[in-house]
């Protein structure tokens, strides 16, 4: 994302000017390209291989016990109220 590019520019500037005491200008021409901040982002640009599967599995592990608990509560409530 755009924030990552700015942080990368800061780290690059600090690495090159490590011995000097003055703060580097991260918006100098050699570090800053305004076109980088205008690039359109696609969904999944920051995902690594296997991240999507891990997110689906973790969502499944979080949502399914809650959904099963709500379903069990509805069944028990119906059982008590209808006397089946």
Alpha-carbon span 48 to 4, nearest angstrom? 15
Higher pLDDT, 13 or 80: 80
**Element containing residue 54 per DSSP (H, E):** helix 51-82
Domain ranges of the chain: 1-46, 50-84
With beta carbons less than 8 A apart as the criterion, state whether 9 and 32 touch: yes
pTM for the whole structure: 0.42
Residue indicated by tokens 């100098």? 28
pLDDT in tens, 29-83: 566 666 766 767 676 667 777 788 888 999 999 999 999 999 999 999 999 999 8
Q: What is the pLDDT of residue 13?
A: 72
Alpha-carbon span 9 to 26, nearest angstrom? 6
Q: Please state, as a whole number, how many other Cβ atoms lie within 10 Å of the Cβ of residue 8.
A: 13
């Amino acid at each position: 994302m755009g924030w990552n590019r700015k942080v990368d520019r800061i780290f690059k500037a600090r690495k090159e000017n490590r011995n000097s005491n003055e703060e580097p200008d991260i918006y100098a021409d050699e570090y800053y390209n305004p076109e980088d901040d205008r690039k359109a982002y696609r969904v999944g640009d920051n995902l690594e291989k296997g991240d999507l599967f891990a997110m689906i599995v973790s969502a499944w592990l979080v949502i399914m016990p809650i959904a099963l608990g709500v379903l069990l509560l509805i069944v028990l409530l119906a059982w008590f109220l209808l006397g089946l």
